[in-house]
Amino acid sequence: MSRFAAPIAEAIWDMKYRFKAADGTPIDTTVEDTWRRIARALASVEDDPAAWEPRFYAALEDFKYLPAGRITAGAGTERSVTLFNCFVMGTVPDSMGGIFDMLKEAALTMQQGGGIGYDFSTIRPRGSEVKGVAADASGPLSFMDVWDAMCRTIMSAGSRRGAMMATMRCDHPDVGDFITAKQDAARLRMFNLSVLITDPFMEAVKADGSWDLVFDGKVYQTVPARDLWNQIMRATYDFAEPGVIFIDRINKANNLNYAETIAATNPCGEQPLPPYGACLLGSLNLSRLVTDPFGPDARLDPQALDDLVRMAVRMMDNVVDASRFPLPQQQAEAQAKRRIGLGVTGLADALLMLGLRYGAPEAAAQTDAWMRAIARASYLASVDLAREKGAFPLFDAEKYLASGNMQVMDDDVRDAIRTHGIRNALLTSIAPTGTISLYAGNVSSGIEPVFAYAYTRKVLQKDGSKTEEEVVDYAVQMWRDKMGDAPLPEYFVNAQTLAPLDHVRMQAAAQKWVDSSISKTINCPEDIGFDDFKDVYMAAWDQGCKGCTTYRPNAVTGSVLSVSETTDATPQADSGADVVYLADPFDRPEALEGQTYKIKWPGSEHAIYITINDIIIAGHRRPFEVFINSKNMEHFAWTVALTRMISAVFRRGGDVSFVVEELKAVFDPRGGAWMEGKYIPSILAAIGGVIEEHLIRIGFIDGHGMGLKSDPEAAKMAVGYPTTPACPSCGAFEMQMSEGCMTCRACGHSKCG
């Protein structure tokens, strides 16, 4: 019997987490091998590994405790990757040399698979004086462009793009440019953006007061606070960015506010971290801890929860000692504070099993109770670890107990910490769990509501046949197994039918007992009024949230799949929105038609020749392979690499027009060239332009700067929503905003890593 509750769960394991040799041969033959590998790796730092390995295995078994993807994929493999998910880099100096030193550190971190955050508020504003060089400063946005270009070239561990968060204070003189930066569709695509909102600013907004934009003690401009707030809100309403981080609240609630100041978060926002801060993540699968689901005695087993929390805390603490780190500063920071981020997934499913409607006051109260139990158990587990292994090195009992969340913690927990110390400075965080929730049987993700109860996934095989697979939410499948064809009760709600303020209520209920933060997306209907939209953010502020991220589908942001609100039957995605993508690459036919193009780069002795061959399927032509050649031997390595990579992408099917975007965005720091009256920033950008011209010529895309026109292999659209974005990994039109991150439901690809 397979341990997997659904075929998609096994597919995610095989694609993302299964340990394989370099040639693709599986080393983990079953998921039990994966659990054993992780358990053995994390037990290896114990004094008695043999005693702890079976206990760790038991926590992992049946997907009860879900370490974050980097731990699941990397632990026990001896690969040179970090097991930490989240990093905030060092403070960016306001000097050219210091800025590029930080760029190098960012590249090294992303190379090992870490998502990073940066505060760019420390760079002087555009137009200010640069002493000694008789020039004006170009401002933080110009350097963010450099970071963005660097990130495009770095592939994170597990074949995922690097992810970055950029923050800027609400009083920085360039904050207006920061707010609107991503309204240029080609700019800062590798960044999530969030504005750091201070308490005085929110007070000024509520009082309709003025607000100074300041740098280094100099007031550059004074603006009405509500005007700046409305600019942030309008950008978020129309473009889904920037997000909002209540930075003063974060620092006041930080257990380590006596030892650090936070100015940035990781890419999805659940981990506010100090300079060089690092944190690892893991989730408790609450759906596996409910007894008598949908029955009269349905409850979440408190003893099972307590036991699982204690084991998870020990395992995560061991990761601090077992992991590699990209930079020595990150290792020193992690070991000095030993912060971990234990969260939950399957919360919405667990509430459904108890007959509670997500977003209702009763569900919020239950969430509060569960999160309090998790906080208590995690802190007491960390106290026990401190008794056994010692407190974290920067622990100071009186300062710690007077700081952050410790001021509202139960007296018995405070007394235990005062007596014995605590092993981990911070313990709880609710992270995005999109991929690991699929791996665990398509349980609801993090603390999000169920996104859709079921949808159909179609796979086009190499022989042209199609297979269909229904992907069903874990709780819905359990209802079907137990109740047969009985209609779903009224308390079954999903992300599309939930009122935005119900989202806020749930986030606030969980935040009370989470000492770091929460990654959550508040889905808003497309027709929500602007004033009602602003009320969502004000409610998040008033109810004690540490930040707020919304998503309103529209022609700019793209649209999510529509889901029926009826409870008479399982809501389904519209049939026109079924996913179709290639399970394996196309086989190469004996003969292909193509075209060869010539690029003569100014200053280069030899031309570059680009041959693009096409395949014809169902009467439609699409690119199949590329060959890039030059007599210049200095070009040999990168042209071969580019040939292989682009061809591999083309042969997978789907919307491959993103290749053009990526190539055209590459700039050469030595300078580009003028070709046929246009400035081309690099040879790679010129190659991207040639491929784009070819795709237009064969009818694959409509025109310059435009995406897929028609895709016979991955043909799919959401009915009524033609702007739904295609996944850059598998081509499926299943990208959705969840937990602050665009994620593909078909293959688990996430732009946030």
- Catalytic (active-site) positions: 266, 268, 270
DSSP state of 634: G
CA proximity to 699, closest of 596, 597, 612, 621: 621
The Cα–Cα gap between 406 and 380 comes to 13
**The three-state (H, E, C) secondary structure of 41-72, written as one string:** HHHCCCCCHHHHHHHHHHHHHHHCEEECHHHH
Q: Which single residue is written with the structure tokens 């690092």?
A: 278
Q: Which single residue is written with the structure tokens 């969430």?
A: 367
The Cα–Cα gap between 341 and 67 comes to 10
CB atoms closer than 10 angstroms to residue 95? 12
Contact 727, 744 (CB under 8 A): yes
Handedness of CA 659, 664, 668, 669 (dihedral sign): negative
The Cα–Cα gap between 664 and 667 comes to 8
Handedness of CA 489, 721, 741, 743 (dihedral sign): positive
Q: Which residues contact 218 (CB under 8 A, 6 or more apart)?
A: none
- Please give the C-alpha separations between residue 90 and each of 41, 248, 368, 709, in angstroms, as whole numbers: 30, 19, 35, 43
Whether a cis peptide bond, with omega within 30° of 0, leads into 449 is: no
Burial of 313 (0-12, 13-18, 19+ CB in 10 A): buried
Token couple for 573: 């995605």
